Structure 1
Amino acid sequence: MSLLRVSGFDVGYGELEIVTDADLTVADGEYVTVVGPNGAGKSTLLNGLFGQADRLGGTVSFDGTDVTDYDTVELVEAGMGLTPQGENVFPDLTVRENLVMGAYTRDGVPSDVVDRIYDRFPILADRTAQKAGELSGGQRQMLAIGRALVTEPDLLVLDEPSAGLAPDLVQDLFDEIDTINEHGTAVLVVEQNAEEILRRADRGYVLTQGTLGEGRPAEELLDDEQFREQFLGA
Structure 2
Amino acid sequence: MSKKKKGLYFIEQILDYKQYQGQKYYLVKWQGYNNRDCTWEKPEKIPNLTQYLNEYEQNVKNLGSNFYQLENDEPPQLEDFIGVPSQQKQSVLQQQQEQIKKLQDQVSQLKQELNQVKKQQEDILQMMQTLPQDKKTQPSNQQQDSEIIQDSVSELSQKNTEVKLPNEGGFEYGDQLDKIGQAAQLKQTGIKMYYLLWQKRSNGTHESKTLGIIPKNRWVSSEYLQKHDIKSLCYYLQKKLQ
Q: TM-score, normalised by structure 2?
A: 0.19
Query: Which structure carries more relative contact order (alpha carbon 8 Å, separation 6+)?
Result: 1
Q: Pick the structure with more strand per residue.
A: 1
Computing the radius of gyration from Cα coordinates, the structure with the larger value is 2
Q: Pick the structure with more helix per residue.
A: 2
Q: TM-score, normalised by structure 1?
A: 0.19
